[in-house]
Every structure is written in structure tokens, then in C-alpha cells.
């Protein structure tokens, strides 16, 4: 290549680079710098207490709709189920704290939305309604030192917002559902029965004392403190998860591995829980009376209902300590030639002057 051609190629390359730099500068001017705005120009994204429908799509992870029916919120998509009233209240309270504080970019491209996690795949899209009126339609993306990135429906700009709490908006489906299974005062329980292959077991409270039977006979080595542990574990029982879409053959709830019934004194209430097959991990499927919902509970909870009775018993030796009280463990001896220090004796050993080289006189 001649020198003239080399110079010509260099000029072309420089021109191309210059064009790219110019385009980037123009882009930076439009979206790369904060646009001066007054507070009057910032859109209001604040929520209110009178909302009655919420649609929350967390990117490609979940798509949940909540609706208020009467005085209670329910999940209506992707299934119908009672909602966690506390979770919905936390979101509505959070919505009331939302506020745009500045405009960051006047407009963004689809590629920019992806970078800022404001696209359909990553963004948290929230639509809130009061009757037929759409009160709020926003998408939340990345957060950083300048605040939470947010876009408002119908506006091309990206704003920085305050008051956003990610964990409130990005719950999994089970986080929006009511997980409560049992709720009772354990002090008012006066009868517990357990049906399983080793039972039935019956526990009856008289005053402050519990008694127990197994298959109609006195239950050996019964420890009422262990029964009280069970009551404390069940009195405010929440599910770990749900067994949606599982048939009875999958859950084993048509032939439970264990069934527990709690009876409150003076006929104040009765609670029944069936424990089925092992489900996800070491957990078990479970179901309470009055609902078709299949719950998932921990193996710790299931063990009480499926126990052969050992969970409610003292050990065969009654829990007595092994070896002489306070003494040296069985089979352990003082090393040869070692003597106890003057005036010191092993706990549990007879007193006197056996360890005193001076005879104690």
C-alpha cells in the first residue's frame, strides 16, 4: 500500500471514530445526565389506603394479583387463596411512602431499560386500582446511591425514588398467601389425641397435670414436659410452603401417617391436623379440617404426629446421670504416681484425710 493510500485509510478511520464519538455524546446528552426538573414537574407515585386491587409482576419470577373482597384481601392470580393480610398491609404502607425526588434520564431505549433492569424480564411492575380507576402504574429497576430507579406509565423518563423496600414487592407467591394453619392458646388445651400406626395415644389434662395412655393402657415413662413442647410448637403453626396441584396419591393425605387433634376446655374449640407423606426435602404434606388447601410442614412438626411414643417419654433409665454423682467418669483413673493436691478431694468421695499427706492432724 502506498503512503497516500495509508493516509486516506487513516482519514476514513478517524472520521468513523469521530462519528461514533459524536453519537455517544448526543446519547449522553439525552440520557446520560440528570435533567434539571422542579418538584412540580415530578410525577406523583404515592399510594393510598383505599386501593382494592394490586397486580405485581416481578420480572420473570412471579405474577400475582391481589384483590380486596369485603374486608379481606385474597390472591386471585395465579390461583385463588386467602392472602396474607400482613403482607398486603406492608405493601400498601410502603406505597404511601413512595416519592420521586429527581429525574435522572429524559428518555431511554429498550437497551437502556435492560441495563437499568426496567425491562419486562427484570423489572418489578406494579399496577394499583381503586375500582375501575388505575391509581398507579410503575416499574422499579436497579437501586443505587442516587435512589431507586423507577419509570411511570406514559412517561419516557427515568426517575430516582425514595420509600421503596424491595422485599415488600418481590415476595414469592407463598409470601403473599396466608400460611396460618393453627392458632390456639396452649394453656386452654385439655385433651390431645394422636392416631398413627403405634397409637392411638391420648393425653388428658386434670388441673395442671397431664396423664397419658397408649392403646387404652397407661403410657410408660410419660414426660408431660415433652407434651408441652409439642403444644408450644403447634399453637401458632404456619406452613413452610404449599402442595398446590398435588393429588391424594402424591400427598398421602387420604391415609395419613398421623392425625393430631387438640381439644380446648369448655368446648371452646377443636383443631385437627393430618400429616401425609414426605414432600419437598424432609418436609411433610399436611391438611387441616375445613380447607382443601395442602400445606407443607417441617419434619420437626410431623415427628410429633408420627412418633412411636418416644418423643413423649423419659429414657429407659429415667434420665438418671451415668457414673457416680460429681465423680470421675467410670473407667477413668488417676495417672500412676499422681496424687491429689493437699486438702483437695474428688467430689462425691468420702471426706477425711485420705488425700492429706500429713494425715490431717
Same domain (yes/no): 172, 256: no
The dihedral sign for the CA sequence 237, 241, 242, 243:
negative
Q: What is the pLDDT of residue 321?
A: 58
Same domain (yes/no): 199, 157: no
Q: What is the pLDDT of residue 98?
A: 93
| Residues of the chain below pLDDT 70 | 1-40, 318-361
pLDDT in tens, 118-162: 999 999 999 999 999 999 999 999 998 888 999 999 999 999 999
Same domain (yes/no): 164, 210: no
Residue 262 lies in a domain: yes
Give the list of residues 6+ apart from residue 272 with CB closer than 8 angstroms, or none. 259, 260, 261, 262, 288, 289
Q: What is the pLDDT of residue 30?
A: 40
Residue 5 lies in a domain: no
Residue 15 lies in a domain: no
Residue 240 lies in a domain: yes
pTM for this prediction:
0.73
Same domain (yes/no): 43, 136: yes
Residue 24 lies in a domain: no
Which of 187, 214, 190 lies closest to 202 in space, CA to CA? 214
Residue 25 lies in a domain: no
Residue 91 lies in a domain: yes
Q: What is the pLDDT of residue 6?
A: 58
Q: What is the pLDDT of residue 7?
A: 56
Q: How is residue 60 written as a grid cell?
A: 420473570
Which of 259, 317, 263 lies closest to 286 in space, CA to CA? 259
DSSP string, 317-356: TTTPPSSSTTSPPTT--PPTT--PPTT---TTS--SSTT-
Same domain (yes/no): 166, 204: no
Between the alpha carbon of residue 202 and those of residues 190, 222, 259, 261, 333, the distances in Å are 11, 11, 12, 10, 48
- Which residues are 10's β-sheet partners? none
Q: What is the CATH number of the domain that holds 269?
A: 2.60.40
CA angle 47, 53, 57 (to 5 degrees): 85
Residue 88 lies in a domain: yes
Given 176, 207, 229, which residue is the final one in a domain?
176
**DSSP type of residue 305:** H
Given 272, 297, 312, which residue is the final one in a domain?
312
Same domain (yes/no): 154, 224: no
Q: SS3 for 125? A: strand
Same domain (yes/no): 43, 169: yes
Q: Could you tell me the residue range of the domain that residue 64 belongs to?
A: 39-176
Same domain (yes/no): 158, 199: no
Given 154, 176, 198, which residue is the final one in a domain?
176
Q: What is the pLDDT of residue 145?
A: 85
Q: Number of structural domains, the chain?
A: 2
Same domain (yes/no): 43, 171: yes
Same domain (yes/no): 223, 307: yes
Amino acid at each position: 500500500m502506498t503512503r497516500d493510500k495509508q493516509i486516506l485509510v487513516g482519514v476514513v478511520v478517524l472520521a468513523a471514530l469521530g462519528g461514533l464519538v459524536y453519537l455517544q455524546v448526543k446519547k449522553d446528552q439525552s440520557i446520560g445526565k440528570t435533567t434539571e426538573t422542579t418538584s412540580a414537574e415530578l410525577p406523583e407515585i404515592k399510594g393510598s389506603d383505599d386501593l382494592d386491587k394490586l397486580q405485581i409482576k416481578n420480572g420473570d419470577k412471579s405474577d400475582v394479583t391481589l384483590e380486596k373482597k369485603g374486608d379481606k384481601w385474597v390472591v386471585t392470580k395465579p390461583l385463588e387463596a386467602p392472602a396474607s393480610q400482613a403482607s398486603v398491609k406492608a405493601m400498601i404502607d410502603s406505597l404511601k411512602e413512595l416519592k420521586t425526588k429527581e429525574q435522572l434520564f429524559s428518555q431511554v431505549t429498550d437497551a437502556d431499560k435492560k441495563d437499568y433492569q426496567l425491562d419486562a424480564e427484570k423489572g418489578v411492575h406494579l399496577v394499583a386500582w381503586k375500582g375501575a380507576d388505575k391509581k398507579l402504574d410503575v416499574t422499579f429497576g436497579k437501586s443505587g446511591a442516587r435512589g431507586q430507579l423507577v419509570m411511570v406509565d406514559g412517561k419516557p423518563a427515568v426517575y430516582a425514588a425514595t420509600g421503596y423496600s424491595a422485599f415488600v414487592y418481590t415476595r414469592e407467591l407463598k409470601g403473599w398467601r396466608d400460611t396460618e394453619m393453627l392458632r390456639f392458646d396452649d394453656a386452654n388445651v385439655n385433651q390431645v389425641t394422636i392416631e398413627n400406626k403405634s397409637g392411638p395415644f391420648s393425653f388428658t389434662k386434670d388441673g395442671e397435670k397431664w396423664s397419658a395412655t397408649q392403646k387404652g393402657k397407661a403410657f410408660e415413662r410419660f414426660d408431660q414436659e415433652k407434651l408441652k413442647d409439642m403444644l408450644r410448637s403447634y399453637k401458632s403453626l404456619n406452613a413452610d410452603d404449599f402442595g398446590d396441584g398435588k393429588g391424594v396419591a402424591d400427598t398421602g393425605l387420604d391415609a395419613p401417617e398421623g392425625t393430631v387433634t387438640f381439644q380446648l376446655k369448655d368446648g371452646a374449640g377443636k383443631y385437627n391436623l393430618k400429616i401425609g407423606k414426605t414432600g419437598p426435602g424432609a418436609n411433610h404434606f399436611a391438611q387441616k379440617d375445613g380447607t382443601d388447601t395442602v400445606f407443607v410442614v417441617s419434619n420437626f412438626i410431623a415427628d410429633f404426629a408420627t412418633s412411636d411414643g418416644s418423643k413423649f417419654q423419659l429414657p429407659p433409665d429415667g434420665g438418671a446421670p451415668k457414673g457416680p454423682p460429681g465423680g470421675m467418669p467410670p473407667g477413668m483413673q488417676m495417672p500412676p504416681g499422681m496424687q491429689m493436691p493437699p486438702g483437695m478431694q474428688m467430689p462425691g468421695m468420702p471426706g477425711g484425710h485420705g488425700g492429706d499427706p500429713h494425715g490431717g492432724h
